Chains A and B, each alone.
Chain A
């Protein structure tokens, strides 16, 4: 099991399209992937649950991944976040 704190860097935060990209990315992996934010634990493969966290720019959350491909999943999700979800800013 891997746990890591991640910080959102894109201007719009985890808005609808970013939440969709994150859940789509998470769905590619077999591992169980959860986001822990403000005492809430949600399934990272569920777009609406991510959206409802209302995570903005500079907000940090914990990602918890457990499963056979946990390392690859973390790398992939970190890359997506560092890439600003392809939004450029």
Chain B
């Protein structure tokens, strides 16, 4: 695991895992913390994709899933169709794994401020927020 960060939700039975290219995941988490001005209590984990060795990232993910088998895991990836998303497909039959692509800052802010334990509702709200935040505003 390349990076661990505390988040807001206390005593949760779920975790967020960001799988992103480069330092995108780490930067997004820093932006969320900066915007919300809070010390986070829970954790969000990040796998920064190793472009030179996708197998390494795949193994990282497998180890993470194995280690956290008692948690529901919401995986947020940055690019559908890319390796960051493709390495997750192996786990689609795992009942505790949820995966969302197209990660952006509003989605992550939504994720950490959600006040529900209903995982499916969380997934739906995160996706809805991501879609709603893309606006032609001029």
A-to-B contact residues, CB < 8 Å: 16-17, 20, 23, 45-48, 51-52, 54
Contact = CB atoms under 8 A, between A and B. Distances in A.
B35 A48 contact: no
Interface residues of B, number: 13
Nearest to A46: B113
- Candidate in B106, B113, B129 with the most chain A CB atoms within 10 angstroms: B113
A48 B36 contact: no
B138 to A, nearest CB: 12
Given A16-B35, A16-B36, A48 B137 contact: no
A54 B137 contact: yes
Given A46-B113, A54-B137, 12 more contacts: A16-B36, A16-B109, A20-B36, A20-B37, A20-B38, A23-B113, A47-B36, A48-B106, A48-B109, A48-B110, A48-B113, A51-B109
B23 interface: no
A47 B109 contact: yes
Name A's interface SS. helix
Nearest to A54: B137
Contacts of A46: 113
5 contacts: A17-B35, A17-B37, A23-B113, A45-B115, A48-B109
Contacts of B113: 20, 23, 46-48
Given A16-B109, A47-B109, A47-B113, A52 B133 contact: yes
